[in-house]
Amino acid sequence: MELTEQQKSMLAGESGNALSLAINTLIDYGLTFGAKRLVPIVSAHLAGSFGAFIYKAYYNIIDKLVTEGVTVKVPTTLNPRPGEQLNLLNRYIFRKQKFFDQKMKQLGVTPNYSCVCYEGANVPKKGDILAWSESSAVQYANSVLGARTNRNSVLIDICSAVTGLTPEFGYLLDENRRGRLLVKLDVKKMDASALGYLLGQKVVNRVPVIEHYPFSELELKNMGGAMAASGAVALFHVEGLTPEAPDLKTVFDGEPDETIIIDQKDLDSLRKPIQNPDLVVFGCPQMTLAEAVKLGESFEGKKCKHKTWFCLAPEAFEKFTQTRSYQYAKKAGVEVHQHCPLASLTVRLGTKNVLSNSGKLVYYLDKAHYNNTEECLKICGGRL
Ligand code: F3S
């Protein structure tokens, strides 16, 4: 790999042993995928935010960086906390949370604890080179904002944050960002999260181009999160809507490899008609302020028929508590949280029959059921 003089010096250990290991890791990672050089990044986002006691090697590496006085070289944000205080089991499993939070602080990481970091704490511009992990955030940055990042892993993200570098391959390069597969829609009632779930399964890791549909930012967030979970999609385009797809000719730069049609029956096939869930969850990826306000309004004068969670990014949570909508939701009995629902529910033994409008949560969580936002609200006692 071609390295600059500065990068060679870091590799040689002139900035310390921990940074030498970090850059060496990035070189190995890049060589595996054919990268020819390391390039500077504008920001990093870290996915490894859960203080589970079993991640010993992870903590050793972070500790090594902190002990040598290393700090992040670029603005770096952090995924949600795991709901470590929710119950006894969570307290036991995530008992390293305080230690982890302290180490992140020492590294200089922004304690935003949000997987929708692009909502405020870390907003990239079109063309910015990033080193993000968290598949839903990667998807949003690439697809909706037109920034450039690969789907990095936990630890690779930290190596990038502390060196300010990432290997140049994959979605950083023009040739891998063009559309591969055309998605035609034959749909009367859109369900973006279900569409994302289905597309992830069908396109796996190719770049889909969805024919024009006026998706809202919220729909793009929830569709992308589902697509990145049920498949390995890191970039999608929507004709005439997302920044790199002004029209089909530009985004394909040739003919699509394949065309698929998604119809109403496909979308509706994901919905499961359960009426007595143990828990109804909204917010994976975490709810934004606009999303919480909109859904909270639907609880005006209502009472929850089933246990209901709103999971918001902390920044949005603070603002949400100042709204009338929050009062409606709280009065109705909605529990408003700031953690990642997946982490807390995965360790919560005996929680069955979770209902959610999140394609991502339903894909990952055992015994979870999907329905669209309108139906989830109706079942738990709200109304859109
Ligand atoms: Fe975010 Fe947790 Fe879902 S990190 S995308 S809320 S699984």
Q: What is the DSSP string of 183-248?
A: EEEE-SS--HHHHHHHHHHHHTTS-EEEPP----HHHHHHHHHHHHHHS-----EETTTSTT-SSH
Sort 147 into a burial class: Cβ within 10 Å, 0-12 / 13-18 / 19+: buried
CA distances from 324 to 82, 102, 236, 313, 356 (A): 27, 35, 36, 18, 24
Residue 367's pLDDT is: 81
Residue 286's pLDDT is: 97
Query: Ligand 1: distance of its center to the CA of 365 in Å?
Result: 11
DSSP state of 80: P
Residue 349's pLDDT is: 60
**Which residues form ligand 1's pocket by a CB distance below 6 Å?**
79-80, 115, 136, 225, 284-286, 340-342, 360
Query: Ligand 1: distance of its center to the CA of 138 in Å?
Result: 12
Ligand 1 atom at minimal distance to the Cα of residue 364 = 7
Is residue 208 within 8 A of residue 177, CB to CB? The reply is: no
Sort 122 into a burial class: Cβ within 10 Å, 0-12 / 13-18 / 19+: buried
Nearest to 324 by CA among 302, 304, 294: 294
Residue 260's pLDDT is: 97
Which of 46, 151, 222, 340 to mutate to test ligand 1, by most ligand atoms within 8 A of the CB atom? 340
Residue with CA at minimum distance from ligand 1 atom 5: 285
Query: Ligand 1: distance of its center to the CA of 273 in Å?
Result: 24
Is residue 319 within 8 A of residue 313, CB to CB? The reply is: no
Which of 136, 151, 230 to mutate to test ligand 1, by most ligand atoms within 8 A of the CB atom? 136
Residue 352's pLDDT is: 75
Q: How far apart are CA 129 and CA 142, in angstroms?
A: 10
Query: Ligand 1: distance of its center to the CA of 136 in Å?
Result: 8
The two tokens of residue 12 are 């040689």
3-class SS at 254?
coil
Residue 234's pLDDT is: 97
Q: How far apart are CA 312 and CA 172, in angstroms?
A: 30
Q: How far apart are CA 335 and CA 339, in angstroms?
A: 12
What is the rounded (10 degree) CA torsion for 222, 224, 230, 231? 180
Residues 6+ apart with CB under 8 A from 111: 78, 101, 104, 105
Which amino acid would we find at residue 376? C
Q: Exposure pattern of 334-344 as b/e (b: 16+ CB <10 Å)?
A: bebbbbbbbbb
Query: Ligand 1: distance of its center to the CA of 234 in Å?
Result: 16
3-class SS at 154?
coil
* Residue stretches of the chain with pLDDT short of 50: none
Q: How far apart are CA 359 and CA 222, in angstroms?
A: 8
